[in-house]
Amino acid sequence: MTIRFDGRVAIVTGAGNGLGRAHALGLASRGAKVVVNDFGGARDGTGGSLTPAEAVVEDIRKAGGEAMADGADVSNYEQVKAMVAKATEKWGSVDLLCANAGILRDKSFGKMEVADFAKVIDVHLTGTFYCCKAVWDGMRARNYGRIVLTTSSSGLYGNFGQANYGAAKSGMVGLMNVLAEEGRKQDIRVNIISPTAATRMTEELLPPQALELMKPEAITPAVEYMLSENAPTRTIMGAGAGSFAVIKILESEGINLPAAEWTPDGIAAHFAEIEDMSKARALLGAFEQTQKYVAQAAARAGIKLER
């Protein structure tokens, strides 16, 4: 079966270069009408130009596709709303959103300025929220939507010098988890990609041989799948150099301690059992954790819980 996006309208943010460009070209090649959004700034978010987005639109049009350029700053909600309104007026809807725009202002935590922390959060996390918010009501009204956010291994696993970027990227996982739950009834599926690729964001971090393997185009198939008709929802997918993986947040089974051991010493004495991951599982919602703990406490107390 060939995955296509004929009749669908997509917004790809940060699409003037790198990953976003690859995603925009890929979606257009499979039939989507694409809003190529890019503020056109430098890697740290300064400056601004519509030229990168216009160049991608030209490439799409030369290949026979439909696209429009948009220079909205994703950290400006009014500009984001205007972008969505423009796409809806021209093509009737926004069905697909790939929130990819981002900047870097790396510094060790001790040297990081408050403004640099705030700006990275503003673009990555708040900007992603703005994009989702701007398309949400339309997707709910049409009972259809596919959204892919962009996290990072820096947020999932940590990376020196990226407290701002890591905090923003891990925050996006929380946003995805909630939106996936809230969108289920209206068939809005929300997933998140954790890419690693050779882009201007990573070019100084990787050796030349790795850069050759890690083309942005290697990430796009995962994004296309998670934007497709039969996409999953609430999935974190890792991708890079042709490798694809699903990432899950797991919780150990844990143990319930008697009240006499509700002390730091009790935790220390039983920590090996508490951190034992042999029965770890991914919980499907916040309340599932509550239910698990209550069930363990009830079992210790010999209480039969009412259903």
| pLDDT value at residue 40 | 86
| pLDDT value at residue 306 | 82
Q: Which residue numbers are catalytic?
A: 165
**CA atoms of 156 and 159, how far apart (whole Å):** 9
pTM reported for the whole predicted model: 0.93
Helix/strand number for the chain, H first, E second: 11, 10
**Can you give the residue ranges of every domain in the chain?**
9-247, 250-301
Per-residue pLDDT band for 203 (boundaries 50, 70, 90) equals: low
Strands (E) located in 155-293: 188-195, 236-240, 243-247, 250-251, 281-282
Give the pLDDT mean for 182-201.
89
Per-residue pLDDT band for 37 (boundaries 50, 70, 90) equals: very high
**CA atoms of 150 and 108, how far apart (whole Å):** 23
Average pLDDT, the chain: 94
Tell the residue number behind the tokens 């990787």, with chain if given: 206
Per-residue pLDDT band for 212 (boundaries 50, 70, 90) equals: confident
| pLDDT value at residue 44 | 60
| pLDDT value at residue 295 | 93
**CA atoms of 59 and 77, how far apart (whole Å):** 28
Which of 3.40.50.720, 3.30.479.30, 3.40.50.300, 3.20.20.10 is the CATH number of 9-247? 3.40.50.720
Give the pLDDT mean for 122-149.
98
Tell me if 24 sits within 8 A of 36, measured CB to CB. yes
- pLDDT tens digits for 213-230? 889 999 999 999 999 999
Per-residue pLDDT band for 47 (boundaries 50, 70, 90) equals: low
Residue 210 has pLDDT above 80, yes or no: no
